């Protein structure tokens, strides 16, 4: 049942991915002049106790049904060795600041274009 549910909820995860990519891009654009291109605060770890590691995934990443998709955005998430329960992902960052990749703006643009194209196609089919 899990692979079928993962497949059915993949579009919802793509919406989450688009929203998170937009949030990260806007955070980078807004605070880049203040931080000088250094680390940026993690959108999921703000206002949380981040003094210990490894720690559980933040709630913002637990909303994804396909966890690999959400963890793909975060450079601080790593896999722990598989145990009886299966592979686990944990945040290995000391604080709440991470260094995002430069491709996040491209991902944001691609996601927005894909969603706008899908909306355009649906509207064309309706009318």
CA–CA separation, 44 and 41 (whole Å): 9
Residue 119 has pLDDT above 90, yes or no: yes
The range of the structural domain enclosing residue 27 comes to 2-126
| pTM of the shown model | 0.84
pLDDT, tens digit, 9 for 90 and up, residues 45-79 = 777 776 677 778 888 888 999 988 888 888 888 87
17 or 90, greater pLDDT: 17
Q: Which DSSP state fits 102?
A: T
SS3 category, 86: strand
DSSP-assigned beta bridge partners for residue 108: none
Q: Report, as an integer, the average pLDDT of 22-34.
A: 87
Joined tokens for residue 16: 């989450």
Percent of all residues in the chain with a pLDDT value above 70, rounded to a whole number: 91
CA–CA separation, 40 and 44 (whole Å): 12
103 or 32, greater pLDDT: 103
**How many independent structural domains does the chain possess?**
1
SS3 category, 31: helix
> How many CB atoms sit inside 10 A of residue 106's CB?
12
């Amino acid at each position: 049942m899990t692979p079928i549910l993962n497949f059915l909820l993949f579009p919802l995860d793509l919406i989450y991915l688009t929203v998170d990519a937009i949030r990260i891009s806007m955070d980078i654009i807004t605070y880049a002049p203040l931080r000088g291109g250094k680390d940026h605060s993690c959108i999921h770890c703000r206002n949380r106790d981040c003094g210990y590691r490894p720690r559980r995934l933040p709630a913002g990443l637990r909303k994804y049904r396909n966890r690999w998709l959400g963890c793909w955005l975060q450079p601080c998430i790593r896999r722990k060795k598989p145990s009886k329960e299966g592979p686990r992902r944990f945040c290995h960052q000391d604080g709440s600041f991470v260094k995002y990749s430069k491709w996040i703006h491209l991902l944001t643009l691609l996601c927005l274009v894909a969603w706008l194209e899908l909306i355009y196609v649906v509207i064309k089919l309706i009318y």
